[in-house]
Amino acid sequence: MYLGLEEESSRCVLGRQYERQEEEIVALRALAKSLKEEVKTIQKRQQLQSSACCDDKASVGGRQRIGSHEYFKLDVQIEKLEEENAELHRQLQDSQDELQRARAYIADKLPVYKLAAVKANAELRCVKSQLQQERKQSDRLQRQLVKCKARQDDVLARVGPERGNHQEEHEDDGELQESEAVRREREAFFRQCMRQQPGCFSPGNKSGIQSDVGDIIEARNTQLAGSKTVVKTDKLIHEDLMDLDFDLDEMNLSPTKSSKSI
């Protein structure tokens, strides 16, 4: 019985040892794998370092081949580019400052310009209404002008025959169209005749002759007054038309101009 227990205990110990050995084997395999990876990374680093060294050597060799004169040219070009870059930065800063000042000026003057625009719009509306009123007035004056011209044509149509009659009467009776000087000469001639022949002219005949002469003069004056009245009427109509034309010219607002200005 004791032998059986010992065998079982030895088996258990062996089993545990076997498990430990397997675990150690697994750990060793993992360690070997990690070591391989580290070796690979080290090799890659060495390759990179070797390639960098080769590049450095090549660049150094190239610089040595270029020479000091080429280096000087490159340095001068670099300095010029740096100066241009600094100048561009300065111009950019100036432009930004100017932009800020312009924005501040616009923000300051914008309310004033808005107010001026509102006032100008109000004045424009007022002027537009005034132009409309003046256009109505010009249309009214134009209608009056047309009426006056029609009235003038009517008066001329009615006065034309009367003028023709007056001209015929004046042609038939030339003595009525004599001047004042001729009339005075005739009166003086009649007086001289009366003085030279006192027996032939009695006081009654003298008064009759004077009354005949007065009748002739009165008839002539009546005819002249009628013709003057006609001429005066025509003249007044022409003056009215000239006044209307003067008003239209003074306003300078014919319907065409007012429509264009509106």
Task: Decide if 251 is inside a domain.
Answer: yes
**pLDDT for 174 beyond 70:** no
Residue 19 lies in a domain: no
- Please check whether residue 35 lies inside any domain of the structure: no
- State residue 21's pLDDT score: 72
Average pLDDT across the chain, whole number: 69
| 170 within domain boundaries | yes
Asked if the structure places residue 220 within a domain, the reply is yes
Domain, as residue range, for 122: 114-261
Q: Which of 96-100, 147-151, 177-181 comes out lowest in average pLDDT? A: 177-181
> In terms of pLDDT, which residue wins out, 177 or 37?
37
List Cα–Cα distances, 90 to 80, 87, 95, 96, 97, in angstroms.
Answer: 15, 5, 9, 10, 11
Mean pLDDT confidence for 172-179: 52
Q: Which residues of 23-58 are buried (b: 16+ CB within 10 A; e: fewer)?
A: eeeeeeeeeeeeeeeeeeeeeeeeeeeeeeeeeeee
User: What is the distance between the terminal CA atoms of the chain, rounded to a whole angstrom?
Assistant: 136
- pLDDT over threshold 60, residue 259: no
* CA 54 to the chain's CA centroid: 75
In this structure, is residue 173 part of a structural domain?
A: yes
Q: Domains in the chain: how many in total?
A: 1
pTM of the shown model: 0.28
Between CA 59 and CA 66, with CA 64 as vertex, the angle to 5 degrees is 95
Q: Is residue 80 part of a domain?
A: no
95 C-beta neighbours (distance < 10 Å), count: 10
pLDDT tens, position by position, 89-133: 888 889 889 888 888 888 888 888 888 888 999 999 999 999 999
Helix axes 68-172, 203-251, angle to 10 degrees: 160
**DSSP structure class, residue 205:** H
Handedness of CA 106, 112, 116, 117 (dihedral sign): positive
| 49 lies in some domain | no
Considering only CA atoms, which of 246, 254, 240 is closest in space to residue 138? 254
